[in-house]
A and B are shown apart, each in its own frame.
Chain A
Amino acid sequence: SQQGEEDPQALSIQEGENATMNCSYKTSINNLQWYRQNSGRGLVHLILIRSNEREKHSGRLRVTLDTSKKSSSLLITASRAADTASYFCATDPQQGQNFVFGPGTRLSVLP
C-alpha cells in the first residue's frame, strides 16, 4: 500500500499567494522529507523533519509533522513562478532501508 499520499494532486495559484500541500502516510517513520521535481529532472531535497519534531522552517518553506495523524504539510509562502514543479513527500519506514514517495502535488504558480 502507498506509504505517502499527497493532497491535492494539482494546485494552481497566483504569484505571491501561499501554497499548502499535504502528505499522509501509514506506518511509523524515522523522518519525513520533502522533495521538488522539475519536469523530467531529478528530485531535489528541500527539507527533512524528524519524527520527534513538529515544525521546521527553511526560507519560504514551512513543514509540519503530526505523527498522531500520520500527516505532514508543506507550506510555501509568497510563491513565485519559479516554484512551479511537482512536490513529493518521502518517508522511511522504520523497517527497511529505502524511502517511499507519495504521488506528488503538481504546483503551478501563475505570474
Chain B
Amino acid sequence: AAGVIQSPRHLIKEKRETATLKCYPIPRHDTVYWYQQGPGQDPQFLISFYEKMQSDKGSIPDRFSAQQFSDYHSELNMSSLELGDSALYFCASSPSWNSPLHFGNGTRLTVT
C-alpha cells in the first residue's frame, strides 16, 4: 500500500540558509499535517492543510512557511535556519478529519 513519502530523508544546512522539505501524502487523503520532533521530544504540531487550504497553525516560527499544491503534495519552507531547528520533521496525512494519521519516515534536518 502507498505510504506518505517525504524527501529528502536527510538534509544538512548551515545557519541562515534555507531548506525546503517535501511531502507526498497517501492518494485520496485530504488532510496533511507537519510536525517537528527534537531529540527525545514529542512531536510538535506546526501546521495542517485541508483540501489545499491551511486549516490550523501551531508553534510554527514566522521563518517557516508551508503550502499544499494542486496535486496535494506539501512543502515546508524554512528560512534563516538556526541551530535549534535541527530536528526530525514529519509529514502525516489522513483520509478525513478525526481519522488516524499516517506518518512518513521524516526528514532529519541538521543545521550546523
Interface residues of A (CB under 8 A from B): 4, 30-31, 33, 35, 40-45, 48, 88, 90, 92, 96-104
Contacts and interface: CB of A to CB of B under 8 A. Distances in A.
Nearest to A42: B103
Nearest to A47: B100
| For the complex of A and B, 9 pairs with smallest distance between CB atoms | A42-B103, A45-B100, A97-B56, A97-B55, A98-B45, A101-B42, A43-B103, A103-B42, A101-B43
A101 B42 CA distance: 6
Contacts of A41: 105-106
Size bracket of the B interface: 20 to 34
B25 interface: no
B100 A42 contact: no
Nearest to B91: A42
Contact of A42 (B31, B42, B58, B90): B90
A43 B42 contact: no
B43 A88 contact: yes
Nearest to B4: A42
B42 A104 contact: yes
Given A42-B106, A98-B56, 17 more contacts: A35-B103, A40-B88, A40-B108, A41-B105, A41-B106, A42-B90, A42-B92, A42-B105, A43-B90, A44-B103, A48-B100, A92-B98, A97-B48, A97-B50, A99-B101, A100-B45, A101-B44
B69 interface: no
Nearest to A45: B100
B102 interface: yes
Contacts of A30: 98
